[in-house]
Amino acid sequence: MTLDEQKKFISDNIKRIKSEIGNRDVTLLAATKTQSAELINYAIDCGITHIGENRVQELLDKYDDIVKDNVTIHFIGALQTNKVKYIVDKVSMIQSVDRISLAEEIDKRCKAIGKVMDVLVEVNIGEEESKSGVDTNNLENMLTEISKFRNISVKGLMFIPPIFKNINEQTFYLEKIKSLFIDIRSKNIDNICISTLSFGMSNDYIASMEYGSTMIRIGSGIFGNRYYPQKNN
């Protein structure tokens, strides 16, 4: 695919997804893992206002080349505590807060630069050992602990549901996410504003919007299949 063909592909996909969102109050976030700054900037030119990076080093590598005037950068991947210091001045939201130690480090680093970081708490809705995220039974306690930090502002929850085997399993998890979000929002925990529900990716974003998602994270659905360069041994 030529560069011009890639750009048309991206433009067409963004138009289609925005049409599918319609008048819903849903934010389209472009998941930009492995994408070049040139293609990211083109997506921004096509109306993308939120982008999400999964890897700290990749974000650092292309940060200076991304046109940032009209875009909000989120960090959406697993985040090691010792790498927080590299991104707190570069992102507006961290969506993958899954433990108190990480929240504590974000708070510490943001205090040092006079910033309050918007965050989402990542929930492991399927209780999968291979995935990060707080257990649903511990979510309320974790939110209560995080509420004590002054340089963090919890804006909502983030989910990566299990891979669905069938429509019944999909419905089960989507209903579980929606129910948990409504329940946590009703708790009115001090210093916690549960308004953002981030779930839904390229393979399930339409169903996710039907179940209350307010932010969908689309990667391949915008840019096409990702290309991972092979590493030399």
Classify residue 232 by burial, with Cβ atoms within 10 Å: 0-12, 13-18, 19+: exposed
Is 24-219 CATH 2.40.50.100? no
Classify residue 189 by burial, with Cβ atoms within 10 Å: 0-12, 13-18, 19+: middle
Average pLDDT of every residue of the chain: 92
pLDDT tens string 187-224: 888 888 899 999 999 989 999 999 999 999 999 999 98
- The domain ranges of the chain are 24-219
pLDDT tens string 36-84: 999 999 999 999 999 999 999 999 999 999 999 989 999 999 999 999 9
In whole angstroms, what is the distance from residue 69 CA to residue 180 CA? 35
* Interaxial angle between packed helices 3-21 and 37-45, expressed in degrees from 0 to 180 and rounded to the nearest 10: 50
